Structure 1
Amino acid sequence: MRYLGPLCGAKTAPRTLLILLLTLLLLGLGSLSPAVPGAQARTTAATARPWMNRSLSPDRRADLLLAQMTLDEKLALLHGWSGGSYVGYIPANTRLGIPALGLEDGPAGVADGMTGVTAFPAPEALAASWDTSLMRQYGQALGSEEWGKGANVALAPTVNILRNPQWGRSFETLGEDPYLTAMLASADIEGIQSQHVIATVKHYAANNQEYHRTTVSANVDERTLHEIYLTAFEYAVKEAGVGAVMCSYNKVNNVYACENPYLLATTLKGTFGFPGFVMSDWGATHSTVPAITAGLDMEMPDSTYFGNALKQAVLNGQVSMATIDEAVHRILRTMFAIGLFDYPTTGSPKATVTNAQHAQLARQAAEAGTVLLKNDGQLLPLDPSKIHSIAVIGPAASVAPQATGGGSAHVIPPYVVTPLQGITQRAGSGVTVRYAQGITTTGTLPPIEAQYLTPPSGSGQGLLGEYFTNMTLSGSPVLTRVDSQINFDWNGQSPGPGVPATQWSARWTGTLTPPVSGTYTFSLTSDDGSRLYINNQLLIDNWRDQATTTETATIQLTAGQPYAIRVEYYQNGGASNVALGWSIPGQENALLSQAVELARSSDVAIVFVNDVESEGSDRSSLELPGAQDQLIEAVAQANPRTIVVLNTGGPVLMPWVDQVPALLEAWYPGQEDGNAIAAVLFGDVNPSGKLPMTFPRSASDLPASTPAQYPGINDQADYSEGVFVGYRYYDERGITPLFPF
């Protein structure tokens, strides 16, 4: 008992000594008693891996883990890897218990070809709601579906300001106002990250056009940069605690955004105090040493610059270990902060994650974002007790509903309720609802039927397809076959035996024999490049890396005369599709006549029109594509009670606006399209949306209206309008818009 003397002192009472002895005995026997379930495992794990102690701060946990990592393990976190089922992937480190990172597109729902997900309305529809609470729910639902798919990094939200409404990604952003964008994006981020999924705010910075997006320089002064284009990023960092920032393809003041020290080190990580990590857009890394030292932490989607090249730069002293450690620390502390270590996803890319609650949220968001632009004579809401017949007109109403945008924000819906279906169901048995297409589809035209195509052999129907293992149609084809039509969507998979899933090309040849004489319209849609030749004349040149894009052209053809036809295509990563369509002369007149007669014989006519927006290309103009303007004018002349519903990704010109009494902007409304618009038309919900962007009267009214401003000259886009973007420009110049912000 010699150890008790110093502990207790000479005057300690015998009772106290007994209590102390019993206490020590119990403490000693504690290790022999049954353990609380899981407690011993947690204690062992915390001892072996102290960074798993949740009571420590994310920074401290990251420090502890970083101290155990080898150089190769550190570098493995700084770039994307092949494999995995997501658009971006970094494998797990099993030795240290670091979870894999699955990066997945998600501005409007889980994208990248995933099925079993909810197709929510485009973010701009949420912006039109001006409702941060609804936006937070939107983010929560998106985050939960990403997590359920096994992804733990959501590539959302997009917060680039709508500088020019021709921008092909206007549908996935939040409008033209920095403050509105900042508030809504912050709510979205909070919702996503509440599900233990890292949100990625993008695209940093001044990324405002798709035309030459990988080479153009946004030349913008410092005041404009901070007041207009960086505000939402600052709020995302300071207010929402966003975990990741994606730097953009373009240059800013002639320095690539992903190696721009002023943007990354000085502003984002310095002035804004961003503690998270910066990843590149896919293929937007252009160097090793300049990029890592400027503040880029992660190259996506591969290791071109941050793999072996970065390791060599470290070994030869060009990049310090402190720089590597900072980048790795930022990634790890973000993973700890958002909960990726403590709440690892158990989801699977093949899981079905959509549910009834998310479908209801999609409908609610589409309803809340619908904007009533015009309602002369109180034509709306429709009263089923007073009308007996409704004409529903337009491809977007039934055969080609514009529910989602394209590119990386495209979501595969589990279903789409068309406007015709929604209106028919809501109108009830007492109202006759009839449909007329009116015109051919506004984007991809109907595929050319095999009966009009003949392969070079002269026998059979279709075209001879030759498939190559390169992107240049070089050498001998590895696969040859007759394809009845050119109407393919391989979704990033191999088109046939011997052909790789990526970086391949194909050529189709034969003859085309038109059924009637006249002017034919051809459409060629592809991701990536495509070309159409008729009698060796290049008719459509769509030859470039891009998301799904449609180009059209017209040509005079004579009935019964064979014409040599050649279609060429190449694929360079990501999605893969190509479709050749046409419009036969006379079809348009017949369709239009049917629509006019239906409108004339109905109490009310509702015309649905749309544009087609996608990452990879800007709209060529603000006009509605195809013959939609003519369709509206013809229907309005036949029926003065005509309602127009716009399914557009941004402002469009409306030469017919004074001819129609009622007008609604419904954006890209997602899978509940028809149910949402029917609820608005019949007054079940209030069309309370407010425009998050200005609709101009003419293209000449746009703030960036000169070629030097947009799309730029020699890859130099001059932001000479300064802070006068959107409504600021109209106010400053005293210009009255068609419909104001």
Structure 2
Amino acid sequence: MAYAAACVALLAVPILAQYPEGSLYSPPISSGYGNWSAAYAKAHAFVCNLTITEKVNLTTQTGTGASYSYSLGIIPRVGFRGLALDDSPTGVRSTDYTSAFTAPLNMAMTWDRDLIYAQAYANGAEHKAKGVNIAYSPVVGPLGRSPESGRIWEGYSPDPYLSGVSFGLTVAGMNAAGTIAVGKHFVLYEQEHFRQVREWNDWHLPNATFNTTEPYSSNADDRTLHELYLWPWYDAVHDGMAAVMCSYNQLNNTQACQNNHLLNDILKGEMGFQGFIVSDDGSQHSGVLSALAGMDMTILGETSPNGELGLGISFWGPNLTQSVLNGSVPEWRLDDMATRIMAAYYYLDQDQDFPELNFAQGDLSTFGYLYPHAMVDYQQINEHVDVRDHHADIIRRVGANSIIMLKNVNNTLPLNKPKQIAIIGEDAGPSIYGPNGCSDRGCDNGTLAMGWGSGSTNFPYLIDPLAAIQARALQDRSVVQYVLDNYDTALIDSVVAQATVCLVFINCDSGEGYIEIDGNYGDRKNLTAWMRGDDLVNEVAGNCSNTVVIAHTPGPIIMEPWIEHPNVTAVLMAGLPGQESGNALVDVLYGAVNPSGKTPWTIGKQRGDYGTDVMYVANAPVPQLNFTEGLYIDYRHFDQAGIAPRFEFGFGLSYTTFSYSNLRIQPVSGASPTTASAAASSAQTTVNPSVCPRYALNASAYTFPSTISSLTDYIYPYLPRNSTFTVGPAYPSASVIATSPGTPGGAPALWDTVYTVTVSIANTGSVAGQEVAQLYLALGNGEPLRQLRGFNKTMIQAGASADVSFTVRQRDVSIWDVPSQSWVDVRTLGTAVGVSVGASSRDLRLNGTMAAVGGVGSGSAAGNYSASVTAATTSAGGPAVTEYSDGQLQVPTEYSDGQVQVPASATG
């Protein structure tokens, strides 16, 4: 069927022409492409030796009945000890003797591929050394549609190219260390407000008068989805991502974790994803439907996303066993679920001397109950294994290289043995509660080095800026005075009046939606500094002619109240730098490290400049979050709207200067532009593909064994004793059909290099420094004015020069064509591609073109682009039932026993 450019029901609608009339679900079965083939061979052999209940045990986490709460897949009969899972992107969550890494935001702020990979490898190595098979990291959802979004610090950048490179490198680094990296959250999860009904109706209702009935629906058109929000996922799949977490939200009014088109057609089909898909806490809303739509593993234990989690009940577990036995879920789908999980295990060589799990998440006691809810098996639950290795050095390097210098008047920085230093602001010093005094870092006390929520970890220590600066001041014989109370104006005025240089520390914080701080429900309620930060800067600057501002933030902040103050002589953005925060800052303040960070987002002059925002007030019982801005977020929007930013995307100063010259644009010999079709391979025609031998449907073989007793709140795959069931199938023959996946990362032609772009860069200053050269392309055809399509960070000695090259792949000059459902090289549409290279998105020093080839093509890609999304709702304001164009209903009704009722009529 032809796709409209802005079809609100698009994500729920597959390309019907590929499948037989009446098909509803299209799970791709992978046999392992490329370097996955050996892993799939081992996984097939393992899974086909299992019973149905043993396969189910691989798919269903055991709930919170054990101290090792994130676990699944224990199969004693074959000697398989199961898999352990844990957070987070900043380190192993809620344990000890691990590192507190910089936020992924800081990884992107470095624009340094080597450092991104190095931190990812270290994080993966620590997870493995703690015995964690599967780590819930990295994050590219949220991408960063709105700067207020609470979890953007867990990700990288609203630019899909920068995020894609960072995301792919993080996956590759964690994989290389031996830990399965779980990319999350898939996809369009762009705010915390209204992500879960229970958070708003049960937890936040006293402070917010909302009565939502379902998570918010992100409504985006197909082109926006592919070119912005799916772009980084192509990178990660291409780089070997073995697991994906589906998100809380709905997409065009279909729940993400039961969205057939999103999970089956796009992720597993179009992108050729070889691994498994796992739910988030509370994101699974069905049993049968989520299985058929492509989900392979369920987190914890839950039967209602609106209720309590992990209490020994699950949509899957025994319900999945029953659904397979009664035919609601085909046995080959269960086989594929288990095979994908085990393929990831073998892909990372976890069958070879993988460490035993040696800690209990959230419980630091040495001894305790292995099954605390049942008070069974009192034993050692924590071995307190120190896994930090030399990772503090990496954290310090990432922290220093991520610092962005935004202003430096008359070479205020680096400091050179100042006579007297005034350090002002609570953010400069330690918290009175200690670095881990607030659960999941859910407070803002003392210096800020990490956001809050499940993306956090425990600090083994935290070097605050005050401690680090005082240590350096001892060497220089500088006098250091400080005030850490932001509100003691008289003392602040007295201290700064005596100083040679005044360092003012400000911050703001954000995190996950289950924690609220001062009315910030995960998402920030404004873009200003917290704890009277703006007034603090102006107060100090009014009494000190040499004021340096240091900001620790989870994203951009508005600086207009003080940025042009003549006494504000330097400004540093430090992000969320982890345990080595103060040391990394001192490295830059005193010139041991030349600042080289660049903004991974735009810093606007006012909040409204961004054109997007968080929905703070629900607009319906099922909140409708309409992505009407389409492709135009962050710098793309600023460029389109002609808005002058305070600091543009990609901006950052250095202690030296650089000049650009000699632009060379060279086509790759033999590279020819093609239409890189993203459609999945031809569908298989069989409804029951032979994955493994089928077991007899005998209920007595799947009921709870008399040889074991049930533990409280522990999830088993067995049916209750004396169970009965009706043999299926419950679906008509064409309702579920296996398909073949694409190749990892999409069509191989997307990754072909078609051009190389080279420039010469000279260091025209007096000190060595690193320059982040940036390549931007203008693709025409309704695309943004310019889009990042390359970057290269290069160290150049003073007075020296270097050639810096960028590789341009076919995907970099392609746009998503909705009617053909493929990526189309714009040069085949008669478009000459504009090429610009420079130091930021608005400091473009050199310009050229890549020539068009062929004639103007047909289809929406050749026309002007506009986003027009309207949420489909009923007259009552709730979500409408999404239908296929031929009137077939998308979602059958699911019974509580896991069976489904297929509508007798296809007329809707």
- TM-score, shorter chain, exceeding 0.5: yes
Q: 1:131 to 1:706 in 2, by over 3 A?
A: closer
Cα deviation code 1:363-395 (max 9, x no counterpart)? 0110011000111121111111xx200001111
CA contact (8 A) 2:148 2:613 kept: no
Structure 1: how far apart are the matches of 2:314 and 2:263?
20
Q: Provide the secondary structure at the position in 2 that maps to 1:644.
A: strand
Q: 1:299 to 1:707 in 2, by over 3 A?
A: closer
Query: How many angstroms does 1:86 deviate by?
Result: 4.7
**Aligned partner of 1:646: which letter?**
A
Cα deviation code 1:225-274 (max 9, x no counterpart)? 01100111111112x11110000000010011000011100000000011
Q: 1:596 to 1:726 in 2, by over 3 A?
A: same
Q: Indicate whether 1:260 and 2:306 are aligned.
A: no
CA contact (8 A) 2:36 2:347 kept: no
Structure 1: how far apart are the matches of 2:388 and 2:614?
47
Structure 2: how far apart are the matches of 1:661 and 1:129?
23
Query: 1:389 is matched with which residue?
Result: 420
**Aligned partner of 2:645: which letter?**
P
Q: Indicate whether 1:437 and 2:484 are aligned.
A: yes
Query: 2:643 is matched with which residue?
Result: 735
Structure 2: how far apart are the matches of 1:680 and 1:602?
20
Q: 1:306 to 1:674 in 2, by over 3 A?
A: same
Q: 1:141 to 1:705 in 2, by over 3 A?
A: closer
**Aligned partner of 1:235: which letter?**
D
CA contact (8 A) 2:130 2:387 kept: no
Structure 1: how far apart are the matches of 2:575 and 2:505?
11
Q: 1:701 to 1:93 in 2, by over 3 A?
A: same
Structure 1: how far apart are the matches of 2:91 and 2:619?
32
Q: Provide the secondary structure at the position in 1 that maps to 2:166.
A: helix
The equivalences for 1:324-403 within 5 A come to: 324-349=334-359, 350=382, 351-355=384-388, 357-384=390-417, 387-399=418-430, 400-403=446-449
Q: Which TM-score applies when normalising by structure 2?
A: 0.57
CA contact (8 A) 1:438 1:593 kept: no
Structure 2: how far apart are the matches of 1:406 and 1:623?
18
Query: 1:643 is matched with which residue?
Result: 548
Q: Indicate whether 1:421 and 2:467 are aligned.
A: yes
Q: Provide the secondary structure at the position in 1 that maps to 2:182.
A: strand
Structure 1: how far apart are the matches of 2:496 and 2:358?
49
Query: How many angstroms does 1:55 deviate by?
Result: 13
For 2:175, which of 183, 193, 198 is the aligned residue?
193
Larger Rg: 1 or 2? 1
Query: How many angstroms does 1:353 deviate by?
Result: 3.1
Q: 1:633 to 1:86 in 2, by over 3 A?
A: farther
**Aligned partner of 2:86: which letter?**
E
Q: Provide the secondary structure at the position in 2 that maps to 1:676.
A: helix
Q: Provide the secondary structure at the position in 2 that maps to 1:102.
A: strand
Structure 1: how far apart are the matches of 2:121 and 2:182?
14
Structure 2: how far apart are the matches of 1:304 and 1:71?
17
Structure 2: how far apart are the matches of 1:601 and 1:210?
45
CA contact (8 A) 1:91 1:100 kept: yes
For 1:725, which of 619, 629, 633 is the aligned residue?
633
For 1:154, which of 132, 135, 143 is the aligned residue?
135
Q: Provide the secondary structure at the position in 2 that maps to 1:292.
A: helix
Query: How many angstroms does 1:56 deviate by?
Result: 8.1
The equivalences for 1:188-587 within 5 A come to: 188-214=170-196, 215-238=215-238, 240-302=239-301, 304-349=314-359, 350=382, 351-355=384-388, 357-384=390-417, 387-399=418-430, 400-427=446-473, 428-439=475-486
Query: 2:878 is matched with which residue?
Result: none
**Aligned partner of 1:360: which letter?**
D
For 2:564, which of 645, 658, 662 is the aligned residue?
658
Return 5+ residue gaps in structure 1 as ranges.
Answer: 1-53, 440-587
CA contact (8 A) 1:132 1:187 kept: yes
Structure 1: how far apart are the matches of 2:557 and 2:602?
10
Query: 1:117 is matched with which residue?
Result: 98
Query: 2:508 is matched with which residue?
Result: 611
Q: Indicate whether 1:668 and 2:576 are aligned.
A: yes
**Aligned partner of 2:394: which letter?**
L
Query: How many angstroms does 1:355 deviate by?
Result: 3.4
**Over aligned residues, Cα RMSD in angstroms?**
1.8
CA contact (8 A) 1:707 1:713 kept: no
Q: Provide the secondary structure at the position in 2 that maps to 1:63.
A: helix
Q: Provide the secondary structure at the position in 2 that maps to 1:68.
A: coil
Query: 2:209 is matched with which residue?
Result: none
Query: How many angstroms does 1:122 deviate by?
Result: 0.6
Structure 2: how far apart are the matches of 1:706 and 1:145?
35
Cα deviation code 1:34-63 (max 9, x no counterpart)? xxxxxxxxxxxxxxxxxxxx9981111111
CA contact (8 A) 2:186 2:246 kept: yes
CA contact (8 A) 1:196 1:343 kept: no
Query: 2:83 is matched with which residue?
Result: 101
Structure 2: how far apart are the matches of 1:131 and 1:739?
20
Structure 2: how far apart are the matches of 1:712 and 1:130?
38
**Aligned partner of 1:681: which letter?**
L
Cα deviation code 1:270-324 (max 9, x no counterpart)? 0001110000011210001111000000111115211122222122211110111
Q: 1:55 to 1:633 in 2, by over 3 A?
A: closer
Q: 1:707 to 1:278 in 2, by over 3 A?
A: closer
Q: 1:55 to 1:197 in 2, by over 3 A?
A: closer
User: Comparing both structures, which one devotes a greater share of its residues to helix?
Assistant: 1
Query: 1:595 is matched with which residue?
Result: 492
Q: 1:210 to 1:86 in 2, by over 3 A?
A: farther
Q: 1:58 to 1:88 in 2, by over 3 A?
A: same
Query: 1:466 is matched with which residue?
Result: none
Q: Provide the secondary structure at the position in 1 that maps to 2:50.
A: coil
Cα deviation code 1:186-209 (max 9, x no counterpart)? 111111111221000000000110
Query: How many angstroms does 1:141 deviate by?
Result: 0.5
**Aligned partner of 1:199: which letter?**
A
Structure 1: how far apart are the matches of 2:355 and 2:614?
49
**Aligned partner of 2:479: which letter?**
T
Q: 1:656 to 1:624 in 2, by over 3 A?
A: same
Structure 2: how far apart are the matches of 1:392 and 1:182?
38
Query: 1:478 is matched with which residue?
Result: none
CA contact (8 A) 1:86 1:103 kept: no
Cα deviation code 1:320-378 (max 9, x no counterpart)? 10111111111111111111112322351243334351011110110011000111121
Q: 1:228 to 1:56 in 2, by over 3 A?
A: closer
CA contact (8 A) 1:393 1:435 kept: yes
Query: How many angstroms does 1:719 deviate by?
Result: 0.2
Q: 1:356 to 1:341 in 2, by over 3 A?
A: closer
Q: 1:356 to 1:392 in 2, by over 3 A?
A: farther
Cα deviation code 1:699-720 (max 9, x no counterpart)? 1111214859x97665100100
